[in-house]
Amino acid sequence: MDLGTHGYRTPSEKRIDSHYDMPEGVDIRGRYDEEFAKILTRDALKFVADLQREFRNHIKYAIECRREAKNRYNEGALPGFDPATRYIREGEWVCAPVPPSVSDRKVEITGPVDRKMVINALNSGAKVFMADFEDALSPSWENLMRGQVNLKDAVAGTISFHDKSRNKVYKLNDQTAKLFVRPRGWHLPEAHILIDGEPATGCLVDFGLYFYHNHATFRVNQGAGFGPFFYLPKMENSRESRIWNNVFERAEKVAGIERGSIRATVLIETLPAVFQMDEILYELRDHSVGLNCGRWDYIFSYVKTFQAHPDRLLPDRILVGMTQHFMRSYSDLLIRTCHKRGVHAMGGMAAQIPIKDDPVANEAALELVKKDKLREVTAGHDGTWAAHPGLIPACMEIFINNMGNAPNQIKTMKRGDAANLTEQDLLQIPRGTRSMEGLRLNTRVGIQYVAAWLTGSGSVPLYNLMEDAATAEISRVQNWQWIKYGVELNGDGLGVKVNKELFGRVVEEEMARIEKEVGKEKFKKGMYKEACKFFTKQCTSPTLDDFLTLDVYNHIVIHHPRGLSNL
């Protein structure tokens, strides 16, 4: 592998020893950089290491519980409400009051922690910016550490960026969005930081470094006495939110700030978690500021949870939208649950983005986004996500038109009707057909996404849609499922059955199409062939890998001075 193409080495390609000042038991294997050293201070690393030592066994246990649940589902069980926690679901309790600084979250922009994008997002007119170390970020050492530098400058209000090619300087406006930070999920290690000889837990690194450097400034500049604010991804069970709650309490104690200062919105984006929404809020009740419909990972999780249930195959990816009964039920129950507990019920991401060179197609894309947002606000969501600054005015208008001056609908939209939603509603098999074009699109998108991820981009525009780790996962697991069960493609009248041979031909043809679309030069310089190898392997493996990014992560790990990791 040509490491030089990533630009991760020093200009002279020399291997250098790290000069980070590390506390006992911590070893930094990532490249040394003076800017990074201001983040990776001895005290900040000690804070992260202490979190790792206190919580590592709890995290290992939670991951082991995920494995056990997976085995149960693979043996035919279905996820459902837990009888043991009925008292929580039926109990009369509420979460701590919402901090005034984030009571209005009508539109939230999301994006990776890239410097220019951080400034653009904070200036975008959105109420909140969710700075993403997760679905939208390829977690290379450079991206993660630069992201921490960028967020520190953003919280301090001093961030700027000079785009030399356009001679444009970016600075913060007087009025900016409130910052939420999304650390990685529990499953991802941070292989550039070893603690007692083991890779650190990725999310504790993201959370710990950001919290350590920014909590004090954040509470003054952004949170009006509260904060910092977080989004928490990909949890499956309330025992995982209990760990986060304990991490927050520990951090508050170390920082000497009031319990309940830190606030987090949990993404409900796994199928098992939809049956745990009350329990998740209950664990985090002093630190919660709502739940969010992470619809893309949720669809991915539906396939993953039912990987051994051939009677629950998904139709083409483009047909699995929020109007499918199981998706609508999930959103309705999330709204009811959040409002009953006094916190925000946030909507999710429409995948359409502005189309620059085709006004008619652009208008059609915008109409789809507006329709999605209108559905969300009338259902009772308190706010929504936008992937691109160009979508914010339209989303904002819809939420304002339907909510007026109210900051949210927590008290006004109780959705008592959703109390009757059953396990069957939440699990109902999505309707629709499967087509050869669906298989081709999954393949084309999956390969191009992995190629982008391997070269440092975690969110990319493909065929006029936003693609990130969650959407790419749907393409991967759907292909896997169709190959595994030899499904018939019944949507285009061809009646062809999917198998490895057919998939092999599709991969070849789609690679040729990608080469034609991106051009020979970019194709040669990019990592399309490597991406094709990973994606094909994952789609055809006898057992389904839990996460695409976990498998390919090893290929973006660059140890200094010792070389590639063997995680």
Ligand X SMILES: CC(=O)SCCNC(=O)CCNC(=O)[C@H](O)C(C)(C)COP(=O)(O)OP(=O)(O)OC[C@H]1O[C@@H](n2cnc3c(N)ncnc32)[C@H](O)[C@@H]1OP(=O)(O)O
Q: What gap in Å lies between CA 127 and CA 98, rounded to an integer?
A: 15
Indicate the residue among 260 and 458 with the shorter CB distance to ligand LL5AMS7Z. Answer: 458
What backbone torsions phi and psi does residue 7 show, to the nearest 5 degrees?
70, 20
Taking CB under 6 A as the binding criterion, the range among 221-229, 273-281, 293-301, 439-447 that sits at the site for ligand LL5AMS7Z is 293-301
Indicate the residue among 193 and 426 with the shorter CB distance to ligand LL5AMS7Z. Answer: 426
* Contacts for 230 with CB less than 8 Å, ≥ 6 apart: 180, 181, 182, 183, 207, 262, 263, 264, 265
Task: Find the residue with minimal CB distance to ligand X.
Answer: 111
Q: Which of residues 349-378 bind ligand LL5AMS7Z (CB under 6 A)?
A: 349
Q: What gap in Å lies between CA 446 and CA 477, rounded to an integer?
A: 10
Q: Which of 296, 302, 503, 535 binds ligand LL5AMS7Z (CB under 6 A)?
A: 296
Q: Does 49 bind ligand X (CB under 6 A)?
A: no
CA 5 to chain centre: 26
Tell me the CA distances in angstroms from 344 to 294, 347, 457, one per residue in order: 14, 10, 31
**DSSP-derived 3-state class of residue 525:** helix
Q: Which of 135, 252, 278, 316 binds Mg ion (CB under 5 A)?
A: 135
Q: What gap in Å lies between CA 428 and CA 549, rounded to an integer?
A: 28
Taking CB under 6 A as the binding criterion, the range among 72-80, 117-125, 401-409, 472-480 that sits at the site for ligand X is 117-125
Q: Does 459 bind ligand X (CB under 6 A)?
A: yes
Q: Does 296 bind ligand X (CB under 6 A)?
A: yes
H helices, E strands: number in the chain: 20, 19
- In whole angstroms, the minimum distance from the beta carbon of 273 to ligand X comes to 15
Whether 468 is catalytic is yes
What backbone torsions phi and psi does residue 199 show, to the nearest 5 degrees?
-60, 140
Whether 341 is catalytic is no
Q: Which of 110, 238, 261, 536 binds ligand X (CB under 6 A)?
A: 110
Q: Does 468 bind ligand X (CB under 6 A)?
A: yes
Taking CB under 6 A as the binding criterion, the range among 52-60, 80-88, 288-296, 544-552 that sits at the site for ligand LL5AMS7Z is 288-296
Q: Which of residues 467-526 bind Mg ion (CB under 5 A)?
A: 470
Q: What gap in Å lies between CA 339 and CA 416, rounded to an integer?
A: 10
Q: Which of residues 453-512 bind ligand LL5AMS7Z (CB under 6 A)?
A: 470
Amino acid at 507: V
Per-position DSSP letters for 368-436, written without gaps between them: HHHHHHHHHHHHT-SEEEESSGGGHHHHHHHHHHHHTT-S--TTT---GGGGG--HHHHHPPPP----H
Binding site for Mg ion (CB under 5 A): 135, 269, 294, 297, 470
Binding site for ligand X (CB under 6 A): 109-111, 116-117, 120-121, 132, 135-136, 296, 349, 353-354, 387-389, 459-461, 466, 468, 470
